[in-house]
Amino acid sequence: MVHDDDFDVRGEAEQASDGDLDRVLRPAQFEDFTGQRAAMDNLQVFVQAARQRGEALDHVLLHGPPGLGKTTLANIVANEMGVAIRTTSGPVLDKPGDL
């Protein structure tokens, strides 16, 4: 008996490129990120300085319209610092204790 779970309609070549697609859509390192050059350069300096001091990076606030790469940059900063990240958005914050 064959189950749907055992069958993948994609070929091996397509499966191999899935990781590449993820890296392009959500890069994990500064060198893989395209755009926002000035912001990225500043963030790289902040991350490098924090690592050299052996300290945590102070809070970073990224703002702007949708589609600029704010969430991606936040994930890159966390990855470069070797820490986990928790993201939120303004509309879900009702009171100061939510932070």
What pLDDT digit, counting tens, does each position of 53-75 carry? 999 998 888 888 988 899 999 99
- Domain extent listing, the chain: 11-90
36 Cβ neighbours under 8 A, 6+ residues apart: 68, 69, 73
What's residue 56's pLDDT? 92
For residue 97, what are its two tokens? 């204790």
Cα dist. 16→13, 47, 65, 74, 81 in Å? 5, 32, 33, 27, 28
pTM: 0.68
Residue pLDDT, tens place only, 3-39: 555 555 555 445 546 667 666 678 999 999 988 899 9
C-alpha to C-alpha distance for 56 and 64, rounded to whole angstroms: 25
* Chain centroid to CA 36: 14
For residue 45, what are its two tokens? 């300096």
For residue 99, what are its two tokens? 């932070």
CATH topology of domain 11-90: Rossmann fold (3.40.50)
What's residue 17's pLDDT? 60
